[in-house]
Chain A
Amino acid sequence: MIEDFMGIAFTQRVFFSAIFASILCGIIGTVIVEKNMVMVSGGIAHMVFGGVGLGFLMGFEPILGAFAFALAGAMIMAAMKKKDSRHMDGTIGVLWALGMALGSIFIYLKPGEPPDIHAYLFGDIEAVRLLDLYPMALLTVVTIALTWAYMKHLKSYLFDELFAEATGSANGFFDYLIYVFVGVSVVVLLRLVGIILAIALLTIPPMIAGRFTKRIETTMALASVLGLVFSLAGMFLAYRYGLPSGAAIILLACGVFIATLPMGG
């Protein structure tokens, strides 16, 4: 039935993009939640909007602009952390607003018909149609490979950064790597749920999964599965009832989050 509605090619595209996005969310989101990096991730996510706006203004693919801004944001955040900045939280707030303000100005300055920015803020199932699956697949494979290869070091770093640094098993490079992957995840999620809701899809599945798992590997795996279920079910609901897909996905995730609150440890 869903095929009749969307066409088989499109359904496959939606399915695969949901799989890739969910795996990224499961792995990177778990790191974000364990490391209390939600504020940092939010900052990077909103900086991305500046890149989207620049893309519209200069006439190149907004996703490329988003990617560039995500990388820049990740670098700035990681450098700030390294500097031991006392006002990191406040500075993130500044970058957060700066990205949104830049994006708005760029889009305002673009001559002619104003572009549809709604899709970038809240996600749009139609936009998934435009997704290029290959970069997504590549990013997902790289993320899985790196996480697998350095799992023990990642654990040491997540449990106790200072000790990991003192013993040389993780250094400042780890920060940069993780921040860059947060940025990359946000860009991947852009079409699916949008800038504003990306953080929710990154954090809700790992938070639910964390209550039912005792090892970080299983948290990541379960979070990926949950992310996939939320994405697919949310998109299905969006189609069936004509809802905005991003909001449908996140509302579903929030519902399950609240419903499972009394369960688990």
Chain B
Amino acid sequence: MAEPVKSLSLRLQAALLDALLAAYGAFALFCLTLGFRTIDSAGGLTLQSRPVLLAAVVGAVFVGRLLLNLFVWQTDRPRTEPFAKLFTGATVARRDVIVLGAVGLLSALASLVPFPAARLIAGGMLAFLVVGAIRRAVLHFLPNLPYARIFTVGGLAFAVLFPITAYLLEKAFHLGLPLRYLLDLSIVVLTYVMLGSGLNIVVGLAGLLDLGYVAFYAVGAYSFALLAMNFGWSFWMCLPFAGAFAALWGCTVGLPVLRLRGDYLAIVTLAFAEIVRIVLLNWTKVTNGPNGISDIPRPTFFGLPFGASGETFSTFFGLRYDPLHAIIFLYYVIFLLVIITNLVTLRLRRLPIGQAWEAMREDEIACRSLGINTTVNKLTAFATGAMFGGFAGAFFATRQGFISPESFTFMESATILAIVVLGGLGSQLGVVLAAIVLIGGIEALRHTQGLKAIFGPDFDPALYRMLLFGIAMVAIMVWRPRGIISSRTPSIMLERQRAAPGLLPKERRT
């Protein structure tokens, strides 16, 4: 901040005022949620007031805000500067090194004390410092490595090798890994990556805010289930049809609504998704209504089913039957689908159609003045996104073996949209990261036993995960308002070597 230096009394005044306002805000927020508690007693519900807790929280907000004001926001030299430098490219002075070293030493000492809460905080601090130091060291000694590429290739290699390696290690050494749980979770994450990638075409590239993406997921799932149940077709035969039906539905919905824009389009797509769900719920003859469709056939390995009896995958290859085989296979199926989706998207972005999508997102009127038929291009975006949603739906149906309209509520659409927005509109890598954070993160918060150290042994992290998760989302959107990945790679360059990062669009309504 290049603000002029203010006198001490002025600074103090401003800091106090700000802290008082923050404390008032905290009071207004917490006076009902923390100040009172209902207790289920013999004579009915009784109200217990907790003034001490409330005062402690409001006081903590006041003191914290005051300290932040005095030492970070209202000074010319914020005391957090040395820490911030760890995560930027700024030059580190000797002073900063001393401060960081001292804090590091203190944290190391504090992590030895017998209080678990203090140890947790000190440990966190230490981890923060170490990560920052490693980051600076790597950037200092190896400044010109293609980090984005290393990251992508490394991630892909991990995704390919993880199930097989983990399975073999488990079989060889009996490590007791929760393999089934990890694989199931990865499959769910990958399904959301697939859905996010599809929606990314519609929202991120073409700029059409679609709140009803789950409709295409549902169409894909039900197409697969009905084709497989009624005609006995295999997964691989049904897959193209599921995609085609979803794309067809995309066109059907798209044709009448695509003259709308922004908020209006969002509402109409939301309504269409509800129509799909309600039709599935009530068209009992075909969809079996709220009871859903069960016993949907599982995918087969080139015709070999994964089962315990008969001619199966395990007998064909002379392996001992293991239910994990089927799950590993499912993992690779969805992984393959994700890779195909992303390769196609990558290619489309470099073709005229993808450039037209992005141009439409930027300025529709200019597009029309350049002879681009926006209706046709919006339809192709809608249909392409819908097709990938349909593939994901077919996969979902075959993995679950059971589908019902329950699975295709608005909440799903919102989650998928959150993945796209959080990842950074238009960024494919962003979708992957956001899906891991959003779906995997919620799961991971179930296992944060360490928080018991702070909140006491009664604390059940699984109960608070949504709250923690909300805080994390707000934090990400405050610090990275354009999403996790905010740079955009141009689809074509005049000079191929030079990187010219642009910015992805902000969430915008036109």
B partners with A: no
